[in-house]
Structure 1
């Protein structure tokens, strides 16, 4: 079956389900939403109401980031919780599977990385407003899945790092050895987003209205989510990429807002180092794909200084230099 035929079939299925919700208001056509990195993402309207549709790509297995039914499941589990998420309005398990959710008006901007015109004070308020949302997420009951603890996280990202050409990851073997030698004890697992940051949250003004992009949610260590969130507080973590925004909260400010008077979790420095390891591995992987011609994006050539800085500062967190 051709891609065009499969897209037409998806359109027919989506329109039929939405027509049940909107009698007398025929749904429009699916329109591709740009910016997605997994699955297929579309917008569609039925009368005055707009929806977002996520679907498994034609010919791809519904696993990993393409498992849209798993995404729909966690969104439904979080409905009515303190964590704001879009409402899921339709799910179709027939392959290729898809689900539709409400379209939420808002903007998702990463202050230290994205081109934007936000006032610095608004960026500051958004970051501080998001820390309690992460705390609420970690305190929300959710479908229990296999837990990914510190050892499994390190093993996963060690494989990813070692798939990066050695010339792009100087010092990474020493870093991985240091992480392995200081492996922290596990803590009770919680619901985790996997990529929690401002760029994955829609805001209206300073109010977070929808946490999106749940492709890699899991049930694991809260410190991994927290350390990833903290990484985006400082543009200096991203040489040649970061944007200086005056007055943003520091990592300590965000940590204080997240903890809300509770004690700091143990071994957080290890997870902050792991977050930098993950970022270096992801960037190295993306740059390798560009250089091999598998995903042409000349902007990836800006990444080496940040990859090097991530590895260097991760090592400093584990073994501070005198």
Structure 2
């Protein structure tokens, strides 16, 4: 039975009726295969493990389905899971949520600046909902990641990149290692929380998607990553500066609300920049080695350098 037949059978077994459309690939995903399909008037998004890949890490589709299913009924907006199938290659189907997921400083089409600013502020206000979900009601399958664990994780990625592609990364890593903050109580961390992974209708988040690397961990890791995308100047050559976007202080204030501002955020801001530089360096290396040919990767060196330099400045 091919994937189309399996998906239709799985949805029908879960009470979905109607004539199916053809399973249609969706562009933009980086982990697993993503499709859309309709049965009757109902549309669904299907994420499947690529043939020949093991269902681990980013390709563990059912792990993504489990966390979204567990968040159903909370005030964290997620798509509704409608069917799962653990038979290899595994897949799950979720309801298609209407909305835009655009990163203002990176994605096309460009968002109108006032709307971009409002969405970013709203995302900062929504993030505490995620961090407030009790871990004991979630399918936690590993130990919490401390700030030191997160640094080790992205140091491993950076270490696989030739040093000439990430000049200055070793110094930034040394500065981060020399000032690792003490961990706070772990919370649910999405791992890639930003507007590019939030489906928005107007200014309101309708669904948080792409749960490939969720974990229990330090909430400041998430906040530091989110702040990287608040300034288009971080992405010369690949992004744009958007006038009127809230700065880091505004976003942190919205996140904190009436509570205290999280401490040691300068370190987590620098970690977010190190992480992004490592990811971009990895992508550039794969392109230059011919493993994933994409000429757009040649635009990355200026951004990698800017991220490393500004991260170093924050800690230097």
Aligned to 2:89: 96
Render the CA deviation track for 1:223-242: whole Å, top value 9, x for unaligned: 00000011101111111222
Inter-partner Cα distance in structure 1 for 2:50 and 2:314: 40
* 1:147 alignment partner, SS class: coil
Render the CA deviation track for 1:50-80: whole Å, top value 9, x for unaligned: 0011111111110000101100000011111
Residues 1:22 and 2:47 are matched in the alignment:
no
Residues 1:234 and 2:231 are matched in the alignment:
yes
Render the CA deviation track for 1:18-60: whole Å, top value 9, x for unaligned: 234234x222221111111011111010001100111111111
* 1:41 alignment partner, SS class: strand
Inter-partner Cα distance in structure 2 for 1:273 and 1:117: 26
Residues 1:71 and 2:67 are matched in the alignment:
no
1:96 Cα shift? Answer: 1.4
Inter-partner Cα distance in structure 2 for 1:234 and 1:49: 38
Unaligned runs of 5+ in 1: 1-7
1:299 Cα shift? Answer: 0.6
Aligned residues: 311
Aligned to 1:131: 124
TM-score w.r.t. structure 2 length? 0.96
- Superposition pairs of residues 106-255 of structure 1, within 5 angstroms: 106-141=99-134, 142-144=138-140, 145-255=142-252
1:291 Cα shift? Answer: 0.5
1:143 Cα shift? Answer: 2.9
* 2:2 alignment partner, SS class: helix
Residues 1:304 and 2:301 are matched in the alignment:
yes
Inter-partner Cα distance in structure 2 for 1:117 and 1:176: 33
C-alpha contact 1:87 1:102 (8 A) present in aligned 2: yes
1:117 Cα shift? Answer: 4.0
Unaligned runs of 5+ in 2: none
Inter-partner Cα distance in structure 1 for 2:16 and 2:189: 35
Inter-partner Cα distance in structure 2 for 1:259 and 1:291: 42
Structure 1: 4+ residue segments shifted above 3 A: none
2:33 to 30, 40, 56: 40
Inter-partner Cα distance in structure 2 for 1:96 and 1:244: 41
Residues 1:289 and 2:286 are matched in the alignment:
yes
RMSD after superposition: 1.2
1:115 Cα shift? Answer: 2.0
Render the CA deviation track for 1:110-144: whole Å, top value 9, x for unaligned: 00111224321111111111112211100112333
TM-score w.r.t. structure 1 length? 0.94
* 1:202 alignment partner, SS class: strand
C-alpha contact 1:146 1:219 (8 A) present in aligned 2: yes
Render the CA deviation track for 1:249-285: whole Å, top value 9, x for unaligned: 1111111100102112221111111110001111011
